[in-house]
């Protein structure tokens, strides 16, 4: 039996009424389809910050912010973090199903084979001052990849190879930019290593001695990347879709996502959390006073790593990361005073009326920075790590968008609040 067609009625000033179709998702989420609203009534909807606007239908990630649920292609984030690895999860996000053994092996081989960047691109790194933020370098390098693969500009050309390239090469670019920033020689990728291990090798090996990747650190990195791999229509993913909707190539769309991720209210929050904790420690460690400042909105302070547009419950990723944080620091024998500060602040905030009433819980960035710090990754590289993790999500959304025959160029409307038409006055008369 065909499902019942639901409609919503909208009463408009002047007695006019609009009948709007209701769309229901597989998890029983309901949306009012307003696509015909302006044509039928002359009205648009206004929703700054897209608090209440669905921009697409998507089969990639399901997230229930009230219940603290996150699933990629139907699989619980907890299961993927425990049992999968980043390459397999990337395959899942991009292709919609877990790979068979043969598909998994072919995908890993392709990622390994495409890890090098064109030798000429090495010169680009030399042009940046040592103080450059690695997100600036990363976004520019990803855009530059399109110059080396001009067939990516052809909208009818196959995309699989470009997907493999971007997924594999961003890891190399990230590690090379770190090596350049600290004045060490670039370490080339090693084909015998898996995705995460290869990245750690390029980051931390030096030509003068052997580097052995710790399995505990490799597992933690895999889990971190999986936890960041997708989060449906967030700021950076929507940017990727928006840039891609104009027909711009995959590299351009991913570079757009990287730039959107950079901001401290989004992926830049992991760096901002560590800076906040360091600030508190350097000013005597009085975190209760800091929380008081946050609650009273002094200097527009926020508890970085807390709060989320969608999660109004504990972020399931933060739960996994808090546990991982203890394990990684214990394995490395590190006692980080910033972790004690973070735990103290979390404990207070979770009981405090300000945070409870606003449903502010730790998000994915609250503990990730402490883990990256323990791994030896510098603070200004944290957002690059986030970008590396988010890549398969961005790619999956870009692919879903270009394959969807209903895709239109993203072009919101506005309500104009400026001057009415006025006459131009020559400069002598103003
Ligand atoms: N600390 C203190 N107060 C906060 C915080 C916070 N971290 N987050 C939200 N609030 C308060 C706001 O001041 C506002 O209070 P008001 O109603 O009295 O004005 C209320 O909670 C609602 O906040 P908004 O900013 O309107 O919520 P929004 O959904 O737009 O913002 C955001 C979500 C940007 C994540 C916000 O919670 C924030 O700034 N958090 C800190 C930055 C951060 O950790 N970002 C990473 C998010 S996860 C990610 O992108 C990977």
Residue 343 confidence (pLDDT) above 80: yes
Give distance in angstroms: CA of 276 to centre of ligand 1. Answer: 15
Give Cβ neighbours of residue 421 (< 8 Å, ≥ 6 apart): none
pLDDT value for 2: 67
Between the alpha carbon of residue 175 and those of residues 42, 116, 188, 243, 367, the distances in Å are: 52, 12, 9, 26, 22
Instruction: State the average pLDDT over residues 381-389.
Output: 95
Residue 35 confidence (pLDDT) above 70: yes
Residue 4 confidence (pLDDT) above 80: no
Instruction: State the average pLDDT over residues 257-264.
Output: 96
Ligand 1 atom nearest to 363, measured from its CA: 48
pTM to 2 decimals?
0.93
Give distance in angstroms: CA of 307 to centre of ligand 1. Answer: 5
Query: How far does the chain reach from its first CA to its final CA, in angstroms?
Result: 71
Ligand 1 atom nearest to 306, measured from its CA: 7
Give distance in angstroms: CA of 395 to centre of ligand 1. Answer: 27
Helix (H) or strand (E) holding 320: helix 316-332
Confidence of residue 154 (pLDDT cuts 50, 70, 90): confident
Q: Which residues line ligand 1 (CB under 6 A)?
A: 265-267, 269, 294, 302-309, 358, 360, 363-365
Residue 208 confidence (pLDDT) above 90: yes
For the chain, the average pLDDT equals 94
Tell whether the torsion through CA atoms of 55, 57, 61 and 66 is positive or negative. positive
**Dist. CA 179–CA 125, nearest whole Å:** 10
The region, left, alpha or beta by phi > 0 then psi within -120 to 50, assigned to residue 196 is alpha
pLDDT digits (tens, 9 = 90+) for 269-307: 888 999 999 999 999 999 999 999 999 999 999 999 999
Residue 106 confidence (pLDDT) above 80: yes
pLDDT value for 193: 94
Give distance in angstroms: CA of 193 to centre of ligand 1. Answer: 40
**Dist. CA 110–CA 115, nearest whole Å:** 9
Ligand 1 atom nearest to 228, measured from its CA: 51
pLDDT digits (tens, 9 = 90+) for 213-246: 999 999 999 999 999 999 999 999 999 999 999 9
Helix (H) or strand (E) holding 19: strand 17-24
**Dist. CA 164–CA 391, nearest whole Å:** 11
Instruction: State the average pLDDT over residues 386-414.
Output: 96
Report the alpha-carbon angle 187-192-194, nearest 5: 85
Ligand 1 atom nearest to 273, measured from its CA: 44
pLDDT > 70: what percent of the chain? 99
pLDDT value for 353: 96
The residues annotated as belonging to the active site are 308, 365
Residue 212 confidence (pLDDT) above 80: yes
pLDDT value for 157: 84
270 close to 428: Cβ distance less than 8 angstroms: no
Residue 189 confidence (pLDDT) above 80: yes
Give distance in angstroms: CA of 394 to centre of ligand 1. Answer: 23
Residue 91 confidence (pLDDT) above 90: yes
The preferred substitution site among 266, 301, 307, 310 for testing ligand 1, maximizing ligand atoms within 8 Å of CB, is 307
Give distance in angstroms: CA of 148 to centre of ligand 1. Answer: 40
pLDDT digits (tens, 9 = 90+) for 56-87: 999 999 999 999 999 999 999 999 999 999 99
pLDDT value for 1: 63
Instruction: State the average pLDDT over residues 116-145.
Output: 93
Ligand 1 atom nearest to 308, measured from its CA: 35
């Amino acid at each position: 039996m065909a499902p019942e067609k639901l409609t919503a009625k909208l009463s408009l000033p002047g007695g006019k009424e609009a009948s709007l179709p209701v769309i229901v998702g597989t998890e029983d989420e309901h949306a009012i389809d307003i696509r015909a609203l302006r044509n039928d009534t002359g009205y648009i909807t206004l929703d700054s910050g897209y608090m209440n606007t669905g921009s697409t239908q998507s089969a990639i990630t399901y997230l229930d912010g009230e219940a603290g649920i996150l699933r990629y292609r139907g699989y619980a984030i907890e299961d993927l973090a425990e049992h999968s690895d980043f390459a397999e999860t990337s395959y899942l996000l991009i292709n919609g199903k877990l790979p068979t053994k043969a598909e998994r092996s072919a995908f890993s081989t392709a990622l390994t084979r495409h890890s090098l960047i064109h030798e000429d691109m090495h010169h680009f790194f030399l042009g940046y001052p040592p103080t450059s933020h690695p997100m600036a370098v990363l976004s520019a390098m990803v855009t530059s990849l399109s110059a080396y693969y001009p067939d990516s500009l052809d909208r009818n050309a196959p995309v699989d190879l470009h997907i493999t390239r971007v997924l594999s090469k961003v890891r190399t670019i990230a590690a090379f930019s770190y090596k350049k920033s600290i004045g060490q020689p670039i370490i080339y990728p090693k084909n015998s290593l898996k995705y995460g291990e290869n990245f750690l090798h390029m980051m931390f090996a030096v030509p003068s001695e052997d580097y052995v990747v710790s399995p505990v650190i490799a597992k933690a990195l895999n889990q971190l990347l999986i936890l960041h791999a997708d989060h449906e229509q967030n700021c950076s993913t929507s940017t990727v879709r928006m840039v891609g909707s104009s027909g711009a190539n995959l590299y351009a769309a991913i570079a757009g996502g990287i730039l959107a991720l950079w901001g401290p209210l989004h992926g830049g929050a992991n760096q901002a959390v560590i800076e906040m904790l360091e600030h508190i420690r350097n000013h005597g460690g009085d975190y209760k006073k800091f929380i008081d400042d946050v609650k009273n909105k002094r200097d527009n302070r926020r508890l970085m790593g807390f709060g989320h547009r969608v999660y109004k419950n504990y972020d399931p990723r933060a739960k996994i990361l808090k546990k991982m944080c203890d394990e990684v620091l214990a394995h490395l024998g590190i006692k980080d005073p910033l972790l004690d500060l973070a735990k103290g602040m979390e404990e207070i905030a979770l009981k405090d009326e300000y945070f409870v009433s606003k449903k502010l819980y730790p998000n994915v960035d609250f503990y990730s920075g402490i883990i990256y710090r323990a791994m030896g990754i510098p603070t200004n590289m944290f957002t690059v790590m986030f970008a590396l993790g988010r890549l398969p999500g961005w790619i999956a959304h870009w692919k879903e968008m270009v394959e969807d025959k209903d895709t239109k160029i993203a072009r919101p409307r506005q309500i104009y609040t400026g001057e009415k038409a006025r006459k131009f006055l020559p400069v002598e008369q103003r």
